[in-house]
Structure 1
Amino acid sequence: MSWDLPTPFTLPILVGADDIDELGHANNAVYVRWLERCAWQHSQSLGLGLAEYRELDRAMAVLRHEIDYLASAYEGDELEMATWIFSWDRKLRMTRHFQLVRKSDGATLLRARTTFVCIELSTGRPKRMPEAFIEGYRVGMTEAPEGF
């Protein structure tokens, strides 16, 4: 695959019949679900799953999605979603980059950035990242080229 950045965390995706809308391609809302699934599985691979979130009374919640839909996906397409954590302030915010590629032809179907904010689960309010988040997400950081 021709990835935007080195060493991504990747998630294989098979486009199913339920993903297809009235126009015959994967619905744009489904792409958002794939972004969430990829980010969540990456967090889990870093040791920050739901149990840890609950224990720490913290979570990373979506603040903003920026999505460029570049090409359509169709039922039966085998895709690979990649993600990288490339920006964070080690306090409240973290940004991920995503790239979705169709395996059959290597076409990039989507690029996205999602900004997350750390919240306290019990109140839903922004709260500083606990040390476990700083250490866990540090492992998942990718150096992005200047201007990326």
Structure 2
Amino acid sequence: MSAERRFFPVGGQDGPGPFLGESGLPLTPAGRVRVAATLEAAPGVFVAGDAAGVALPGGFVRMGVQAALTQGWHAAGNLLRGLRGEPLQPYRWLDPGWVVPLANRRGAGFILGLPLFGRLPAFLHYAMSVFRSVGLDTRRHLFRHLLGGR
């Protein structure tokens, strides 16, 4: 694979997809690209999000929006550092937790290591959805849902 400034989104509804197996890049047992601490799979080839197999003691960073966002920002920063001839920085994963909205405006999850159930996790899920959404109409719709409207 040539690394001449190529950007190729490989994620999808069912995961990274077959492209990764044909890329020649090193893969994890789950089929994600094994990356160094700098998020490089090979010199100049940066991988982030669900496609990235970022090693942790005892496993890998889980797939999720928090990991995809922070890895994307970090990979872009390292790409720019590399183009400027600066040293690349290692990615440091901080897991804030996860929440899943359930029926009746309740949710469940782990936030900063604490198990939560009820209205707070659901509220946090939709609040983060509003915060991370693009477009005023989308934000307005999510905010209205957050406050209990339809």
TM-score for the superposition, normalised by structure 2: 0.25
Which one has the largest radius of gyration? 2
Q: Which has the higher contact order (CA 8 A, sep 6+)?
A: 1
